[in-house]
Structures are given as structure tokens and as C-alpha cells.
Structure 1
Amino acid sequence: MIEQIEKPAFNKEFRVYEFRRPDGRGQLNADETITAATVKTSDYKTGEDVTESMISQTGPYAQTKVKYRLAGGERGKTYLLEIQATTSNQQDLAGYLLVKVM
């Protein structure tokens, strides 16, 4: 199941996606860090790519997270974010998040 969050249409806010869970498990190995990151965004119903209008300032953050700025979106719509990371062990990982715009 994909986690869902809500965001007011007006807000331009920084968000963080964690690739290592607090219990130490998850997609990253014990000493592995994130070296590069991207976030892609699409309209959940139509699949239309809206990355350019909703996502900016993406990058690795605090070694195990991806930080990005989330803006805009149309009130009432849901968007799918695909958070991609390349790691210090040359793994390519992805996480997914649904964003409902209020």
C-alpha cells in the first residue's frame, strides 16, 4: 500500500522521504547512503507528467533521505510521486507517495 499525504494547493513546502526506517531496516544497507536523487510526479488518474510544475530543489538529505520542494497541484486531484535514489553501493531505489491536493 502506498502512503498518502494531503497538501493545500497554495503551499510550496519542503518534504523529506526516508529510505531507511527507524528500526534500521528498509531499502538501504546498514552503512549505505544516498548519493543522487530525483522526484517524478504524475497525475494519478491520467498519468500526465507534472514534475516541472510541482517539484524543485531535489537532492540527497541527511545521508538516508531525499529532500524536495513540493508546490502547486490542482485542488481535488491526487498525484503520484516517484522518489528515486542512487546509493553509495550503486543501487537504484524507488519509493512512492500519493499526494492529495486540498
Structure 2
Amino acid sequence: MLQQWNVSGVKFAASAENLEDTYYSALQKLLACIKSMGEDKLILLEGGSYLGCWLESTGTINDELLSRLNPSVSETTFLIRCHYCKPSYVKLVLHIKKADAV
């Protein structure tokens, strides 16, 4: 997981040390939201005390953003959601994956 993050090229530098501290604190919180589903499957959950995701509101945009920084976690998260969602969502995700492959 960290290897993919490092390969993504995301860097942060600021003249004020407290800004860099804020970035690294946020990064720590993001990484804490990535949980193991067993068998080397990592998924993104919402932060805080809620161990899940409001799929209709924040779930898909969070996964979209993460796909640019950590594609394998994002893909696993989408696929897990497809497994537990209604068929219309599964069709949408599969349509998007096919469009990306072209």
C-alpha cells in the first residue's frame, strides 16, 4: 500500500513546518481508513468511528480520488461494494472499468 502511494508521486513541502505537519497528520488519518478484508485485500472505509461508507454520497468520490494515488486499494473497494450492492451499481462500475480499458 505504501509503495503505491510513494509511486504516485504525491509530495508536500512548505516553508512553515506546521503546514507539513498538517499534511502528514492528514496522510496518517487517510491510511488509517484503509482496512484489511483478509487475503491481502485492502479497502477504503470512511474515517471516524463509522466502519462503513455512505455509498450514495461520499463513497464513490472517495474511491475515485484514491484511484489516482493507490489504484489497487480503490479497485478492491469498488469490487467489494459491487459484491454487496444492487445490480444497477454493479453495471455502472463495470461500464466505467470497460471505458478505462479502451
Structure ranking higher on relative contact order (CA contacts 8 Å, 6+ apart): 1
Relative to total residues, which structure has the larger helix share, 1 or 2?
2
TM-score by length of 2: 0.23
Rg larger in 1 or in 2? 2
Relative to total residues, which structure has the larger strand share, 1 or 2?
1
TM-score by length of 1: 0.23
